[in-house]
């Protein structure tokens, strides 16, 4: 009897521990830093999956790239890139994100990025960029408002 009780506790402990970990992660919804980092990762994932509409959903309505290019430019550029290359990879060689300490509705990401494109498995083009992203909270979501690169 004692052994059966010990086994049933172990059987319950694992699911309860997993549930606790999942529920503990729910606090990230209230953490602007965690949501910002998730938005950065989602942008990378959407670009690699060639999801133009999903990327556009992440752009703020006042989006600007290099201070001059707007959302239409972003859409045309992605369409051209995705048509030209079957496989697109965005390799973040290093990145750091932070929420502005004064204006909590602004966040910033600095990244070193390698962008590769390929018709098949082997990349036939690759470029390295130093990228600066400025994010604005809009309706509780981080939206990419400014994009600059060198």
Place of tokens 């990025």: 113
Helices (H), 26-129: 32-48, 52-58, 71-84
Q: Pick the closest to residue 140 from 62, 39, 45, 23 (CA basis).
A: 39
Can you tell me the mean pLDDT for 134-139? Answer: 96
Helices (H), 1-62: 2-25, 32-48, 52-58
C-beta separation of 109 from 96 below 8 A: yes
Which pLDDT belongs to residue 115?
83
* Dihedral sign for Cα atoms in the order 110, 67, 43, 134: positive
* The model's pTM: 0.76
Q: Is the pLDDT at 8 greater than 50, yes or no?
A: no
Place of tokens 């209230």: 30
DSSP secondary structure letter of residue 30: G
pLDDT confidence band for 122 (50 / 70 / 90)? low
Interval 9-66: pLDDT, tens: 444 433 433 333 333 344 456 799 999 999 999 999 999 899 999 999 999 999 999 9
Tokens of 149: 């690169």
Which pLDDT belongs to residue 70?
97
Helix (H) or strand (E) holding 118: strand 106-118
Which pLDDT belongs to residue 12?
41
Interval 68-78: pLDDT, tens: 999 999 999 99
Let me know if 107 is exposed, middle or buried by CB neighbors in 10 A (0-12, 13-18, 19+): buried
Query: What's the chain's average pLDDT?
Result: 82
Can you tell me the mean pLDDT for 83-94? Answer: 84
Which of residues 95 and 2 earns the better pLDDT score?
A: 95
Which of residues 9 and 150 earns the better pLDDT score?
A: 150
Q: How far apart are CA 109 and CA 99, in angstroms?
A: 9
């Amino acid at each position: 009897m004692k052994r059966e009780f010990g086994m049933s506790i172990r059987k319950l402990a694992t699911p309860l521990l997993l549930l606790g970990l999942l529920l503990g992660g729910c606090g990230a919804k209230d953490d602007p830093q965690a949501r910002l980092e998730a938005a950065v990762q989602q942008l990378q994932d959407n670009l690699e999956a060639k999801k133009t509409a999903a990327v556009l959903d992440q752009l703020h309505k006042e989006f600007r790239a290099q201070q001059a290019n707007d959302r239409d430019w972003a859409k045309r550029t992605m369409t051209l890139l995705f048509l030209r290359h079957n496989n697109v990879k965005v390799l973040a060689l290093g990145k750091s994100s932070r929420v502005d300490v004064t204006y909590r509705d602004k966040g910033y990401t600095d990244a070193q990025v390698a962008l590769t494109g390929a018709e098949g498995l082997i990349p036939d083009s690759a470029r390295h960029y130093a990228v600066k992203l400025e994010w604005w909270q809009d309706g509780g979501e981080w939206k990419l408002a400014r994009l600059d690169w060198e």
